[in-house]
Structure 1
Amino acid sequence: MNYLKAIVFLVVLGCSHGLSAQLGFCAGNSGSPIFTEDFGTGTTNGPALPAGTTTYTYVNGAPDDGSYTIASSTAGYFDWFNIQDHTPDDVSGKAFIVNASFTPGEFYKRTITGLCENTSYEFSSWLLNLHPRSGAGCPGNGIPINVKFEIWDSTDTNLLASGDTGDIVDNTSPEWGQYALLFTTVPGQTSVILKMINNSRGGCGNDLAIDDIVFRSCGDLITLSDTANETSIYACEDDGPVSATLNASPDFSIFSNHFYQCQESTDAINWIDIPGETTDMYTTPLVNSDTYYRVKVSEDLINISNDLCNVISEVFEIILVPTPNPPNSIGDIRICENIENGILTVRVPPGMLVNWYDAPTGGTLVASNTTSFTTDTAGTYYAEAVPTVANCPSDTSTAVTLEFYPLPVVMDEELFFCENTNITLESGVTGVTYEWNTGETTPNIAVSQPGTYTVEVTDPRGCSNIKTILLNQIDLPIIDEIFSQEYDILISTLNEGVFEYSLDGINFQDEARFSNIPGGFYTIYVRNDTSCGNVSVSYFHLVVPKFFTPNGDNINDVFKIDGIETTPDYEINLFDRYGKLLKSSSNAPMLWDGRYNNQDLPSGDYWYSIRIEGELFKGHVSLKR
């Protein structure tokens, strides 16, 4: 805290002008307050300060220039900030509210008694500029605060110390600032007079609040450490008793001389002097329980026994740390194996840390300084409690087990089904609950559409697994066209697939062409290569040759239409290139040898028209000689 005060002072110093070199905080160790003025508490103003404390006039409300009040709030006072007092944890705490007089001069005076001779002191007070920057009451900024602190002897004739705060200007928000002054009493001096003087004129601004005026002794900062330069010892209780040689090291920031008195305590509250231990070094006896040591230090031997005149070193602790109980487990962890990690947790009291091992003794450290251990490996782990202040582990460790439950076993599938049929999808697991992506909750479901189906199965322990079924539809063939190429029948489909073809519904082939098939009526069957059934269509296979060669070799010597005789009503007509009718037949087979009127016709193309039960077919045939 002393260093913090020094930082605050340096910040103030950097923002002030004309600051006396004597204004400053105790650079060493501040003692207990000898005098404190916090102006009391309450929601009503007052009471007025004792006679002789101030030359200003007390008012019960907003003070005008040259007046003051004692109040817990400045609400409604001109355009000032509405503030609370500075004293920490005060309820309706009051402050000294001052509206400076038009003439600079003294506005606070107080005699401080009970001081020690030949002792350095710190006087401090908290000040606040009540006027807001660019407030409505003053054009521009108000007159800044500037206060001089003075310490006089008890006769009010000798000035012992003085210092100025410098200008404390308006701010955008209320900010308390602490200011301090150091002085030293002379031999025989036990009281002084404190004065606060307004360095600025009154008027628009120079309005201030004052709180927490404190006098305390100021001495060196005393460090108490052992031969290892440690400022405390935390040892395991089982390793006791413990002893230490302590050395008191002042920083010489205040005192020129040092007188010592070692003290001992069992609770760090009630202290007793250790007889005869009046040097800067002390070797403790062997201790089996918590014991605390400190040193009182004064600059004058006469002040060593007066706690208002000396300062206290830092406390050296010898703490015997008991062996802790092992941690408390919150229970073994059993989780489904598809959960990535298990978290094992124990509880320990405050001030304990936990280390985890993979064996009850002599194991490998797997986690340190954590009450929770996360792992993806099943097994039993062991938690050990260790105090944070010393390596005194518990005699035993706490076993915590992580177990992974197996998931329901499922097998993904890819299935096929025939178009226009239903198929039953099976979960393949019993003793679980089911949730299909169709919304159904039965072990098996019937579907009629291809796609991806999933079922989440959950066992009684809450472990779930998901089965995925990819369902493919086997489409029936769609016959697009059947046509004849002389004695061959060709079949085409609108869709693709691995199809098989048949002319009798019994014997199937992979090829879509049937070769050397006599003309006539046929039923064409097409199916997929599975048992999804087939589609069929009736087809009349009319065999019309593309050419014939009437050369007498008995091979293809005549033009003959095969299969037409299987129809009850037909008519065939042959024409030359000029449309001359060469031969005709009705409901009877027609054989043409390439002659007309017993004359051989020349090679060339000849045209035919065939009518079968109202349907007309036209084409040409080549005659080759």
Structure 2
Amino acid sequence: MKNLLFLIFFFISGNIFSQLGFCEGSKGVPIFHEDFSSGTLPAGTTTYIRVSGDPYDGFYTISSTIGQQIGGWHSYLPNTTLSNGNALIVNADDNNAGLFFQREISGLCEATTYEFSAFLINIFNASRSDCPNGEIPINVIFQILDQTGNTILAEGSTGDIYSSVNPVWSQKALTFRSQAGQNKVILKMFNNGVGGCGNDLAIDDIIFRSCGDLTKVSSPNLSETFLEVCEPDAPVTVELTATPDNTVYTSHAFQWQESVDDVNWQDIAGETGMNFSSSPISSTRFFRVKVAEDAVNLVTNLCSSVSESFAVFVVETPEAPVSLGDLDVCEGDPVPSLEVIVESDESVRWYDSATGGVEVATGNAFVPPAAGRYYAEAKKTGFDCNPGPRTPVELQIFSKPQVVDEERQLCPGQEIRLDAGVGNFTYQWNTGATTQNIVVTQSQGYSVIITNPSGCSSIKQFEVSVVDVAEIGKITSEGTSVIIEPANVGEFQYSLDGNNFQGSNMFQNISGGVYTAYIRDLEGCNTVSEEFPHIVMPKFITPNNDGINDRFELKGIEYFSSSEIRVFNRYGKILASGKGEGFSWDGTFSGKDLPSEDYWFHLSIEGFEPVKGHFTLKR
């Protein structure tokens, strides 16, 4: 790519070559910071020619992008410098190696130690094979001269910085001391690489700032550089001592400073000693000390160094959390969160009572396990100070209207009234009606949303169908029971007197006689009836003369005008016969006792179907 000439320096004064290194003490505010954000260089800074895009031999550019035309370079600059923007991109001249950057730095304080620093990067991509014989690393010499340019105050070499697969910035620094009577220096940068392929570099964030002793601020009986005070314990005072490490300064002048935000600082009038005693502190304050070798250099931050700050945190008692409102919810619905707002540096705890009580949750939002009033308090995060007052937040759970779905039957060609139920409710039917009840004529599904004064709703469903046809299929009279069986499948009501209807088709403990069976649909559209005889006949007889079930007799037959009964054995032989009224059989035939077994009867009643059955004789 190019050959770089080895640079020979001629030292005008007898200075010793210095090692690079950072200021190990306290640093002041930068008096010079070149981040190349303006995109230009002052005249005389370099003899190289500026171009757009990637520069070739003997050219430079100021840009935040690289590797657009030169494929052997990295394609980007990593964001690990201070400014993360433009950088100075230099492609050294094969025929004019050596000095490539020179800049006068003004505004320095006399007889003050300074730190110079800059970021460098080898922009050659180590993963490429553009240098068959191996790349040449970058190697830069920094030189700080007095304002005459005749005296070298400090110089140092970066050493070889080889390329890498991924681009990496490296910050280098050099310390020096300004001379008495002079407030300017000259910065020079030399390319110390040898000729060959490689040796391409970028530079960013050139900074000059004062370097002083590392000064520590401490307070008796405190191991930390801060003091925490809860608001009820304020105001407080602190005693502070500044202790320089004497690595830079041979003498010390002090100026104590105060800040409310650890950013903007004000001098404290009259506080220029090593020790400092504060006035009563009622709110958070930060203290630090500005240090210089001479009191005249304390006038500006550019000529002095500062210690780390000592903080006095006055922890304010939090205000009561701000509630986002009480909440109402209907039973069965998801329970929402109770929420409060506090300051960003505060945490929230929830309790079950206004004072004391049990902690039930933490955090700004809380899903309560049940209805009730809960209390939120705020506490400053990270401090062991008392919380502020509690804020009540309430969750109410309201009941919904109780509903039971209904199945109704509609008489053909008629109408039916559907009633949603009485209450202090509002109604919304799927038909559009808003009344408690509606009249319908169609068989289909109907629904109504019932809402109570709390705003909770339930849905009641009505299924309306055409009535089941009521028709008597069979009447069974057995013992003291009567069973009315419908001819069709459906839901019906049954009665033996035409007035009292029931859902069961079985009637128990019915005395013998002439009865009328009734069956009707649930809506009473149609009622059918049928008269039938109910004769109470014994299921068995025990002719042992104990007075209980000794004879086969017919109870209730006296209600019929004419009847006749016959008793058979299993072979069909008639064993006894006669009129039903007054009939009695003792289980004998021709004066002899018949054996224990089943026997049959046939009862004829005028005007009714014959009644047949059987009973058991037990001895």
TM-score range, shorter chain: 0.5 to 0.7
Structure 1 letter corresponding to 2:143: I
Match among 272, 275, 284 for residue 278 of structure 2:
284
Q: Secondary structure at the match of 2:158?
A: strand
Contact 2:63–2:89 (8 Å) recurs in 1: yes
Q: Distance in 2 between matches of 1:55 and 1:214?
A: 22
Q: Counterpart in 1 of 2:581?
A: none
Q: Counterpart in 2 of 1:312?
A: 306
Contact 2:139–2:160 (8 Å) recurs in 1: yes
Cα shift readout 1:193-231 (whole Å, capped 9, x = no counterpart): 44242526465x544332221123345654434333343
Match among 415, 424, 428 for residue 421 of structure 2:
428
Give the 5 Å matches for 1:537-576: none
Q: Distance in 2 between matches of 1:492 and 1:231?
A: 99
Give the 5 Å matches for 1:38-437: 38-39=35-36, 41=38, 46=40, 49-51=42-44, 53-59=45-51, 63-70=55-62, 77-78=69-70, 81=75, 95-102=87-94, 105-110=98-103, 112=105, 121-128=114-121, 138=130, 143=135, 146-151=138-143, 154=146, 155=150, 160-164=155-159, 166-169=161-164, 171=166, 177-185=169-177, 191=185, 193-199=187-193, 201=195, 206-219=199-212, 221-227=214-220, 228-233=222-227, 235=229, 239-248=233-242, 259=252, 261-265=254-258, 267=260, 269-272=264-267, 275=270, 277-279=272-274, 281-287=275-281, 291-297=285-291, 307-318=301-312, 333=326, 335-338=328-331, 341=335, 362-364=355-357, 366=359, 375=368, 376-379=370-373, 381=375, 391=385, 397=389, 400=392, 402=394, 404=396, 406-407=398-399, 410-413=401-404, 424-435=417-428
Aligned-residue identity in percent:
30
Q: Distance in 2 between matches of 1:266 and 1:159?
A: 36
Shift, 1:122, TM fit: 3.6
Give the 5 Å matches for 1:30-45: 30-39=27-36, 41=38
Structure 2 letter corresponding to 1:64: Y
Q: Counterpart in 1 of 2:451?
A: 458
Task: Give the TM-score normalised by structure 1.
Answer: 0.58
Q: Counterpart in 1 of 2:583?
A: none
Structural RMSD (CA): 6.2
Shift, 1:418, TM fit: 5.6
Q: Distance in 1 between matches of 2:121 and 2:330?
A: 66
Q: Distance in 1 between matches of 2:133 and 2:492?
A: 97
Shift, 1:465, TM fit: 3.7
Q: Structure 1 residues 221, 445: closer, same or farther in 2, change over 3 A? A: farther
Cα shift readout 1:512-560 (whole Å, capped 9, x = no counterpart): xxxxxxxxxxxx9784897866668999xxx9x997659xxx969xxxx
Structure 1, unaligned runs of 5 or more: 1-19, 484-489, 512-523, 557-625
Shift, 1:431, TM fit: 4.2
Q: Structure 1 residues 262, 479: closer, same or farther in 2, change over 3 A? A: same
Shift, 1:244, TM fit: 1.1
Shift, 1:162, TM fit: 2.3
Contact 2:118–2:207 (8 Å) recurs in 1: yes
Contact 1:433–1:441 (8 Å) recurs in 2: yes
Q: Secondary structure at the match of 1:164?
A: coil
Mean Cα displacement is larger for which, 159-168 or 53-62?
53-62
Shift, 1:304, TM fit: 7.0
Contact 1:260–1:295 (8 Å) recurs in 2: no
Shift, 1:65, TM fit: 0.6
Cα shift readout 1:462-498 (whole Å, capped 9, x = no counterpart): 3324456799999557888999xxxxxx998775989
Q: Counterpart in 2 of 1:519?
A: none
Shift, 1:284, TM fit: 2.8
Q: Structure 1 residues 444, 342: closer, same or farther in 2, change over 3 A? A: same
Q: Counterpart in 2 of 1:585?
A: none
Q: Distance in 2 between matches of 1:183 and 1:102?
A: 31
Shift, 1:187, TM fit: 7.9
Q: Structure 1 residues 75, 441: closer, same or farther in 2, change over 3 A? A: farther
Contact 2:407–2:462 (8 Å) recurs in 1: no
Q: Secondary structure at the match of 2:88?
A: strand
Task: Give the TM-score normalised by structure 2.
Answer: 0.59
Q: Secondary structure at the match of 2:56?
A: coil
Contact 1:335–1:404 (8 Å) recurs in 2: yes
Structure 2 letter corresponding to 1:211: D
Contact 2:410–2:464 (8 Å) recurs in 1: no
Cα shift readout 1:31-72 (whole Å, capped 9, x = no counterpart): 322332234515xxx45x543x44534457753212224457
Q: Counterpart in 2 of 1:609?
A: none
Cα shift readout 1:387-414 (whole Å, capped 9, x = no counterpart): 98784766xx576563637445x33336
Shift, 1:167, TM fit: 1.0
Q: Distance in 2 between matches of 1:334 and 1:97?
A: 64
- How many residues get paired? 508
Shift, 1:98, TM fit: 1.4
Q: Secondary structure at the match of 2:205?
A: strand
Mean Cα displacement is larger for which, 421-430 or 473-482?
473-482
Structure 2 letter corresponding to 1:428: G
Q: Structure 1 residues 186, 99: closer, same or farther in 2, change over 3 A? A: closer
